[in-house]
Amino acid sequence: MNITEFHALTDQLFNNIELFLDNYADEQGCDIDYETHGNVITISFPNNSKIIVNTQEPLLQVWLATRKQGYHFDYVNNQWICNRTNDSFDKIFAEAVADQANS
Where exactly are the structural domains of the chain? 3-101
Is the pTM here over 0.85, yes or no?
Answer: yes
Q: Which CATH number fits domain 3-101: 3.40.50.10190, 3.40.190.10, 3.30.920.10, 3.40.50.2020?
A: 3.30.920.10
pLDDT score of 103 = 67
Q: How far apart are CA 96 and CA 90, in angstroms?
A: 10
Low-confidence ranges of the chain (pLDDT < 70): 103
